Structure 1
Amino acid sequence: MKRVSKRSLFVFFAIFGLIVSSFAMIQTAQAASGDYSIKPEASADEVNIDNGTYVIEGDPGQQVQVKIGVINKSNKTRKFVINANTAYTNNSGQPGYDKTKVHDPSLKIQTRDAITPNNIIATVKGGKEMIIPVTLTIPKKSFKGYIMGGFNVKPYKEKAKGTVSANGTLIKNKFSYSLPIQIHQKSSANQDPKYSINTVKPGLVSDAAHQRAGVNANVHNSANGFVTELSSKATVTKKDDKSFKITKSQTGQAIAPTSNYDYSISWGKKPMKAGNYHLKLVYKTNNGIKSWTLNKDFTITNAQAAKYNKLAGIKPNYMWLYILLGILLLAIILGLGIYLGRRNKNNNGNNNNGNTPNKPTRRRRR
């Protein structure tokens, strides 16, 4: 009975320990991802808050106060750094606001320069919200459409918190949040996006957690126009092979004004081959009212195909070479057989004509 009792207690405490450990892991994960938040706060009449985005409309040179709310959900005092940045488009086809330096050939006005102060470090008490005011000056330089940027907020000088994935890999995450800003001048007209493809280059692209051979199409929006919730379909064809066709579809894309990004297209498990190709890329709005069709020819060289096939782990297929060598060997054997057969026949013919013994002649008796 005592032995049974001890075993029962051991099992009970073991299960209890597992439950407590699991609960602690859940609490840690929640703390890592949900221990602070941000939100736009109401301020001037010129600032409209639309679905978490500041939409600001005013006269050139006008100054507008904008307020950001930072909520510290932890129980300790923490510091946060707030930056106002110019919008760019990340390689998922979504606007990003976490870069302090953004470059694009068509970008004329940096939204970051319109906001002061910048690079603010705010101390927020545990369980409290702090409202941080900044001044936004609508650019004096005339522009059509909207220029875009955003406030990016992240913990100040805090170490990245680690979580363990299902396969045992340690992943370190540093969370940050952003609030988008759209600025429009009252006197200016709206502008539609203007999409084009700059280049198409072969490379290694991500495809369902794998690195595959593929191409990156650099898509450019050269106008101050912005459309949310775009769907896209890319079709790659090969000029000398009608059977070759690769397609890719995406939804929920939104290309920031005066920005560019890489639209990746995977070859999947297919080996990349050298040749001349064509890309057709179609963007459509959700309601189907507007669409943009982009076309671009591009070339993949033998060296590029070999390089990215190797990096993707695709081994060269030499079957065609083995077949060619087999046909060549068979042709050599057949040719040699025919040659030897004919030579043998000629030799036999010559022997019959020149070396046949004379028949003995009979003498007549007189």
Structure 2
Amino acid sequence: MVIPFIYADVVKASNEDLTYTISVKPVSNQIDKQATYYDLLVEPSQKETLTVIVSNTGKEEKTLRVTPTNAITNQNGVIDYSRQDKDYKYDSNLKIPFTSLVEKEKQVTVPAGKSEEVRFEMTVPKEPFKGMILGGFLVDVVESEQGTDNSASGGVKIVNKFQLVKAVMLRESEETVKPEVVLNEVKPDLVSYRTAVTANLQNTEPTMFGDMTVEAKVTEKGKKEILKSDTKKGLEMAPNSNFDYPIMWNNERLDPGEYTLSLLATSGTKKWQFTKDFTITKDESNKLNKEAVELEEPEKPYWLYILIIAIFILLSLILLVLVLRHRAKLKQQQKKAKRGSHATGHKTKGGHKGGSKKRSRKSDRKE
């Protein structure tokens, strides 16, 4: 198992746009004294004040928002401290999220060239916990809405042009907890509106790890030929988190059928091997292929069209020949029938003439 580096700052913009900085105020129970984030050894029911220092390096006054967040693993296989939507579902094994231990988000107005401290009260759970609780303090800018009636809406909006974060790691012991990875659902999906199959990988333990390599192969069920394969290195996972590992389908159609996924995940000396069957239904195939972008349509089998046309022409010719032969045969039969009727008529006429001659001769003799 490899422990990933805890990122002190996460920036979602170029440095040219960054006109504020953040730091944390050291506390006595910091484990790693050199770290620029919180790495704290805590005790059950302990109360502590965590302080985020925000500095405005710009030329104008700024209102900054400081939000406690929980660490997750995003679809890129990276530990992520971003703010999540309200309906976001955290991992089922995450029993103590960091956000449940501290106060809610706060806003502070900082004059140009000045710094302000933003304090959050934290209370450690009464019951002991193993491993770690991982979260962070995320900071972004709140700007006035131009052209908006301030009396109606407060004239405030959040501008997520860039964000900075400081991680917070809580432990009650420095004992190492080993991660455990399981494979959950495998399904057809769209990733950035492109066809893919995703495999949900879950770290069920309260520990983070990194330097993970994932190798995935998809075949038709019962066959050995590899349809699609994918390998990614340098992945990491937050404690008690999961993410959908994507096997991209190269903009090809997701055909209905039964498939098998073979997946190997490794981190240091730890290995997790999985084999799982899954099905792509006709309805799933039609829906996802319809919604996908840049989908490559299968090449049209022109040779098949040519073959069908050739067979149709051939059958038409054969039928025509048969019809013509049948008509010719009928004509021949009709001609024979006419000839036969003429011959019979001639014989009948000749017989009548002979009879009359004989009768006339007999009558002459009597006379």
Deviations 1:65-114 (A, max 9, x none): 33322221113332222121222222222222233655322221121111
Alpha-carbon shift at residue 258 of structure 1 (Å): 1.7
Alpha-carbon shift at residue 54 of structure 1 (Å): 1.8
Count of matched residue positions in the alignment of Structure 1 and Structure 2: 309
Alpha-carbon shift at residue 43 of structure 1 (Å): 1.3
Local SS of the residue matching 2:90: coil
Local SS of the residue matching 1:309: helix
Local SS of the residue matching 2:246: strand
- Whether 1:75 and 2:59 are equivalent positions in the alignment is yes
Q: Contact 1:193–1:221 at 8 Å: present in 2 too?
A: yes
Q: Contact 2:219–2:228 at 8 Å: present in 1 too?
A: yes
Letter in 2 for 1:254: E
Alpha-carbon shift at residue 44 of structure 1 (Å): 1.9
- Whether 1:250 and 2:237 are equivalent positions in the alignment is no
- Whether 1:291 and 2:271 are equivalent positions in the alignment is yes
- Whether 1:185 and 2:185 are equivalent positions in the alignment is no
2:282 alignment partner in structure 1: 302
- Whether 1:135 and 2:117 are equivalent positions in the alignment is no
1:24 alignment partner in structure 2: none
1:149 alignment partner in structure 2: 135
Deviations 1:294-353 (A, max 9, x none): 333222233433443343233643634x5445445545655676788789999999989x
Letter in 1 for 2:68: A
1:58 alignment partner in structure 2: 42
Label 1:229 to 1:135 Cα distance change in 2 as closer, same or farther (>3 A). farther
2:258 alignment partner in structure 1: 276
2:195 alignment partner in structure 1: 213
Label 1:29 to 1:272 Cα distance change in 2 as closer, same or farther (>3 A). closer
Alpha-carbon shift at residue 283 of structure 1 (Å): 2.5
Label 1:306 to 1:79 Cα distance change in 2 as closer, same or farther (>3 A). same
Greater Cα offset, 86-95 or 339-348: 339-348
Percent identity, please.
27
- Whether 1:314 and 2:300 are equivalent positions in the alignment is no
1:201 alignment partner in structure 2: 187
Local SS of the residue matching 1:229: strand
2:107 alignment partner in structure 1: 121
Q: Contact 1:44–1:64 at 8 Å: present in 2 too?
A: no
1:132 & 1:47 partners in 2: Cα distance?
22
Q: TM-score w.r.t. structure 2 length?
A: 0.70
- Provide the alpha-carbon RMSD of the alignment: 3.6
Unmatched 5+ residue regions in structure 2?
Answer: 1-12, 147-158, 340-367
Q: Rg larger in 1 or in 2?
A: 2
Label 1:29 to 1:60 Cα distance change in 2 as closer, same or farther (>3 A). closer
Deviations 1:140-167 (A, max 9, x none): 223221121111111234569xxxxxxx
Label 1:41 to 1:253 Cα distance change in 2 as closer, same or farther (>3 A). farther
Deviations 1:30-53 (A, max 9, x none): 552x20111233112245356443
Q: TM-score w.r.t. structure 1 length?
A: 0.70
Q: Contact 1:69–1:129 at 8 Å: present in 2 too?
A: yes
Unmatched 5+ residue regions in structure 1?
Answer: 1-27, 161-171, 358-366
Letter in 2 for 1:226: M
Label 1:49 to 1:292 Cα distance change in 2 as closer, same or farther (>3 A). farther
Letter in 2 for 1:319: K
Larger RCO, structures 1/2 (Cα 8 Å, 6+ apart): 2
